[in-house]
Structure 1
């Protein structure tokens, strides 16, 4: 008898761990929330440890669940890639492109429009991801990741150096002459970035101002930029993401460099389909445009 737990239990765990929701996992796998909960409990009984901490309205992973999840991710990725290598794919299968919403709206959107007009026969499926773990077991042909490029098993192409700067609505910008004028305003924070407001304020020589500001924290840049555009505060964002925006302005010239950047990424050990290769070359050639 195999010592491995049933695949359905592992699928339930992986989906629930990725979404941190039994309900979302059930919707993803086409079963009920109760079915996901039961499969996870059976899995926990099999491995002899709790994998989730169950709160009233949410889930968090236990240390054991966090330690095990990368192995499960890798296993599903290898199954997906092995299936593709052996059986190939049909021309009707779309090219899956995964990226964060912020880079989709600014850098990616105009390039995809141009690519589609030139190659309407290539079907593209765009998938959103916010956190690094969202680049999970569902194999994407191409990804746009953010980080230091410390990933294995992939081919990478950087989009260029990144600098972060404050942005806000035009009306609010008219009240800001120097970084000291930020005192009393709301700083909009997007979590998950190596450089944040503390780093920018220090670089601008006004680190003391942060204690005089209100703060509002979001889990993604899309929301901080939306709040900033509506006068809800000042957001810190990448200069690259401002190219296509007309609803935000930069009140100061000061910017701070980041050792993190956006990268075009694709698996290095997977057989690349012609359509995916075509889109990859197009995106690589348009990095500096």
Structure 2
């Protein structure tokens, strides 16, 4: 049996065949016209048949495309019916919110009870993303991203200015009265951030101090903060993420201002569902209450 093409290719074909426009299909699926064109091209290469005739300003289906389209419509209809039968109507109305694990744990989790109280009708689905490439216009109604806010095809609203500060267990903080006393301690590094311990130490006029410290690197900030809370070392944390924690303290300033920050993000070319709109407005209000 010939392996089925990826679902995203089939979605691109179905939307483009129904609208006879790569641009309209991209708008419907929340991706660019170029992305739809590429998926169709890959699909045609996989099948060994052309599916569209590309005219200067329009598209038409080839005989092969016309013959295949009813099967694709039937397959998507059966998939939707099966999903509703097994999982009920909530799957059709759930709001997918994609964030970094540390935002989920330290910013979103303390607020979820209030969100559920305000909107008990919303079925929320949380998805984790660790690396920048994990984010994207597909599969999520709303995202909280970290970066410069210069992504194409999205609406992005800043959660506010960010400062990196040292964070450690209270018992460790008792032994740290000044930044120079970090010498001999373990510095916990979270990979993937634009600024880290070298930049913070330089801002504190202590360049090179990291050479007198032990080092432990993790691929996410959740782990560095968990280790710091257990007294294993000192992490760098975004100040806003410490507001709801009582197991971590800031032993001293200065804070290092970040060029990057956290952003509320949603696709700008996708129709927004009622529930997704409610969650978006609630997060905006929470952003303002948090000083964003």
- Using the size of structure 2 for normalisation, the TM-score is 0.68
Q: Which residue matches 2:279?
A: 279
Does 2:179 align with 1:168?
Answer: no
Does 2:260 align with 1:227?
Answer: no
Q: How many residue pairs get matched? A: 213
Shift of residue 111, structure 1, vs aligned partner: 2.5
C-alpha contact (below 8 Å) 2:198/2:208 kept by paired residues: no
Q: Which residue matches 2:249?
A: 249
Q: Which residue matches 1:267?
A: 267
- C-alpha separation between the residues in 2 aligned to 1:189 and 1:214? 11
Q: Which has the larger radius of gyration?
A: 2
- C-alpha separation between the residues in 2 aligned to 1:268 and 1:8? 25
Shift of residue 9, structure 1, vs aligned partner: 9.9
- C-alpha separation between the residues in 2 aligned to 1:138 and 1:9? 12
SS of equivalent to 2:115: helix
Residues 133-166 of structure 1: per-residue CA shift (max 9 Å, x gap): 1114642000000000120000111000000000
Shift of residue 209, structure 1, vs aligned partner: 1.1
Shift of residue 112, structure 1, vs aligned partner: 2.2
Residues 67-113 of structure 1: per-residue CA shift (max 9 Å, x gap): xxxxxxxxxxxxxxxx9xxx9x9764310000011111122123221
Residues 191-215 of structure 1: per-residue CA shift (max 9 Å, x gap): 1111100010000111131110110
C-alpha contact (below 8 Å) 2:190/2:217 kept by paired residues: yes
Long gaps (5+) in structure 1: 12-42, 48-82
Long gaps (5+) in structure 2: 10-41, 47-75
- Using the size of structure 1 for normalisation, the TM-score is 0.69
- C-alpha separation between the residues in 2 aligned to 1:286 and 1:126? 18
C-alpha contact (below 8 Å) 1:188/1:215 kept by paired residues: yes
- C-alpha separation between the residues in 1 aligned to 2:235 and 2:161? 20
SS of equivalent to 2:287: coil
Q: Which residue matches 1:196?
A: 196
Residues 38-75 of structure 1: per-residue CA shift (max 9 Å, x gap): xxxxx9xx89xxxxxxxxxxxxxxxxxxxxxxxxxxxx
